Amino acid sequence: MPASEEIRNMNEVEASAELARLAAALARASSAYHSDDSPEISDAEFDALFERNKEIESIFPHLKRPDSPSDRIGAAASDTFAKVTHSVRMLSLANAFREDDVRNFEETIRRYLKLDDGTPIGYTCEPKIDGLSLSLRYESGRLRQAATRGDGRIGENVTANARTIGDIPDIARRAPEVMEVRGEVYMGHSDFERINARATLEGSRTFANPRNAAAGSLRQLDPDVTRSRPLRFYAYGWGELSEPLGRTQYEALQRLSDMGFATNPLTRLCDGLDDMLAHYSGIEARRATLGYDIDGVVYKVNDLELQRRLGFRTTTPRWAISHKFPAEMAWTRLRAIDIQVGRTGALSPVARLTPVTVGGVVVSNATLHNEDYISGLDACGNPIRDGKDIRVGDWVRIYRAGDVIPKVADVDLGRRPERAKRFDFPTVCPECGSQAVREEGDAVRRCTGGIACPAQAMERLKHFVSRAAFDIEGLGAKQLEMFYRDEVLGIREPADIFTLAQRDAASGGKLRDREGFGERSVRNLFQAIEERRRISLNRLIFSLGIRHVGESASRLLATHYGSWEIFEKRIGSAKAGEGPEWEDLVAVDGVGQVMATSLVAAFSQKMERGSIDRLVKHLDVRDMEPTVNSDSPLAGRTVVFTGTLNGMTRAEAKARAESLGAKVSGSVSARTDLVVAGPGSGSKAGKAHELGVMVIDENAWMELVTKA
Ligand code: IVH
């Protein structure tokens, strides 16, 4: 069944659980990939999870998480290198997996620019190099700084290492005064084999694939090590420029090549969809013999003025897309099915596989989603995989494409061991022995142990200290695992964190004498905890880890209630489905029945409530300040566009307004701050006048946004 159908069949609870799962999986994978240079899942698997997440978000936009993977690029820069703030953000590319996606990309661009089918739009098509991106800053033609992408805003300073790469010129001929060249650092296949062979001989660590080898080699503390690694570089774009490099993408690439940069020789100018797709097939056919890894073809609108008009979404340009090559699949043996218990008690089955190499990455785990999935049914009880169930001992085909991944796409019944039994999904929690139940409409079976379940308690604690919650430096998963089991310094619930220093002072054996802790790290840890006693209301609400209450919902709740005292009193006395407190809660824009029920349940559950109360005793909760306008005069304002706009399309106008922090609405109400009315605006402008809302014309709007 195509993913969209499966997703359309989800209910809100399933969708939000799946979004949570995807956010966690993508964050973990991303951190392993970017920061540790050792991926846990393959790129295709990553893409597939990413696409699935986007698809769910498109069908359930209101469930989009504040930490949504779609808004993120890469992973935060590590502490090993000095940080560099990119003067122009380093973005990522949206993906196309099917021809239809490319067609859609082309059509969207036409619509956005209001160009009819007769007007040709040229595109550059170039291989998508599978390496890591690097931004090179030249001033007066000299290389001054090289930085990795990091999270797109802040990267790592790897200048000394970049200087050792032969394809990167130290002096760029006839370059603009300020020029940031962007491109991909990669390692060729033969070089990769050679350094891996050498590493094997020397008994040192080998790399899983050329991309990791390139990343690992560039991110070396000693530039001499980087020098000994055969890294290459292709330039494909730019960041800050004191003057343009050309009128088109193609011209700009040629100019970069004239300055001494390597640009990819397979880059072509294509004049439309058919041409692009033909070039894609041509590159795909040569993929195996190129001598370096590529994972798709990047299409970019050639005309730089059109690129400027198209602009950017949160993390990707509208004027480019990467057309990925189809993912691979592999048959392997399912050795076991393990059940993991998550923060909200969800029992998630994980397939333990005999490791298989697919596209250079070893896959040994796959998600099995839930019990229906194992038994061959989708969320509506319709058969998937022709209804074949999955059994331990089976040969399974792991499929990794623009679909949910890695998923067990098929089971080979011909090779099923005779004694293989249907998998009995546990009805008690494997961690705490409590009943595990499935509520109506929930695809997921959940442990009912709440925070009495050690797995849930542990996951809650990890959530509590996580970046968007209390963000306690020096207290991560590893330390929490250790403290959880500790007799004297036990941390079993959040409140225990705030009594740690006191308990340490009172105990005989001190923390500083333990392995892994020293005088300084203990002092830093206690200080980090101390600093967090004062906490904002939204962070506190989010940190409680209540199901369905994410970061943005927490902010909405905090803004609505203003202080912990009011929040706690109102939620604590609310009854699900009735009464003024309940009505008040569900009236908050962005709070639905599901979230409200979960919130009220958490506050009325004795154990959970006890844990919250014990925690808050140690805190000084900051009331929520009313939102202040940021720099732009449009920040936080609600704008309505109506009538005909001449100099811009509706989509452009909307994107521009949103990029300045405004909310764009389709209808005029008392909450509207500004109406931009073109000719023929009719009733909306009339209503605005009636309500005393400011109405301006397109020229005034242009003036306003250019100033903003
Ligand atoms: S253009 C704003 N062109 O793919 C557009 N990227 O998924 C920025 N990449 O971070 C990217 N080859 O590391 C572009 N020919 C190419 C590329 C390319 C590889 C990588 C690059 C980028 C990632 C985006």
Of the pLDDT bands very low, low, confident and very high (cuts 50, 70, 90), residue 35 is low
- Tell whether the model's pLDDT for residue 95 goes beyond 60: yes
- Tell whether the model's pLDDT for residue 1 goes beyond 50: no
pLDDT in tens, 607-664: 999 999 999 999 999 998 755 446 677 888 889 998 888 877 777 787 778 777 788 8
- Tell whether the model's pLDDT for residue 457 goes beyond 60: yes
Catalytic residue (one of 128, 388, 684, 687): 128
Pairwise CA distance, residues 501 & 81, whole Å: 32
Pairwise CA distance, residues 31 & 77, whole Å: 10
Cβ atoms 41, 208 nearer than 8 A: no
Indicate the pTM of the whole model.
0.51
- Tell whether the model's pLDDT for residue 87 goes beyond 70: yes
Cβ atoms 267, 124 nearer than 8 A: yes
Of the pLDDT bands very low, low, confident and very high (cuts 50, 70, 90), residue 39 is low
SS3 of residue 618 by DSSP? coil
Bridge partners (DSSP) of residue 296 are 128, 324
322 lines ligand 1 (CB under 6 A): yes
Q: What value does the mean pLDDT take over residues 308-337?
A: 90
Query: In testing the pocket of ligand 1, which one of 322, 323, 324, 325 has its CB within 8 Å of the most ligand atoms?
Result: 322
Pairwise CA distance, residues 343 & 345, whole Å: 5
91 lines ligand 1 (CB under 6 A): yes
Name the E strands within 611-653.
620-622, 638-642
What are the Cα distances from residue 542, in Å, to 16, 53, 546, 558, 611? 16, 21, 7, 10, 15
- Residue 201's Cβ-side half-sphere holds a number of Cα atoms within 13 Å equal to 6
pLDDT in tens, 386-405: 889 999 999 998 865 433 35
Of the pLDDT bands very low, low, confident and very high (cuts 50, 70, 90), residue 221 is confident
The answer to which of 192-206, 427-441, 661-675 has the lowest mean pLDDT is 192-206
In the chain, pLDDT over 90 holds for what percent of residues? 55
Scan for tokens 């991560």, then name that residue: 476
**Residue 628: its pLDDT value, please?**
43
320 lines ligand 1 (CB under 6 A): yes
**Residue 670: its pLDDT value, please?**
86
What are the Cα distances from residue 470, in Å, to 212, 474, 541, 705? 32, 12, 10, 37
Closest CA to 656 of 316, 301, 310, 315: 310
Cβ atoms 38, 32 nearer than 8 A: yes
183 lines ligand 1 (CB under 6 A): no
Query: In testing the pocket of ligand 1, which one of 298, 314, 318, 325 has its CB within 8 Å of the most ligand atoms?
Result: 298
Ligand 1 centre to CA of 93 (Å) is 6
237 lines ligand 1 (CB under 6 A): yes
pLDDT in tens, 109-157: 999 999 988 899 999 999 999 999 999 999 999 999 999 999 999 999 9
Atom 6 of ligand 1 has which residue's CA nearest to it?
128
pLDDT in tens, 3-27: 577 888 888 878 888 898 898 888 8
- Catalytic residue list contains 663: no
Q: What value does the mean pLDDT take over residues 90-111?
A: 95
Q: Concatenate the DSSP letters of all residues of 462-524 into one string.
A: HHHHSTTTT--TT--HHHHHHHHT-SSS---SHHHHTTHHHHHHHSSS-GGGSTT--HHHHHH
Scan for tokens 């705490």, then name that residue: 432
Closest CA to 344 of 688, 647, 655, 605: 605
Closest CA to 110 of 292, 356, 301, 259: 301
Atom 2 of ligand 1 has which residue's CA nearest to it?
91
Atom 3 of ligand 1 has which residue's CA nearest to it?
236
Q: Ligand 1, residue 316: give the atom nearest the CA.
A: 2
**Residue 135: its pLDDT value, please?**
98
Q: Ligand 1, residue 320: give the atom nearest the CA.
A: 5
pLDDT in tens, 515-536: 888 889 999 999 999 999 999 9
128 lines ligand 1 (CB under 6 A): yes
125 lines ligand 1 (CB under 6 A): no
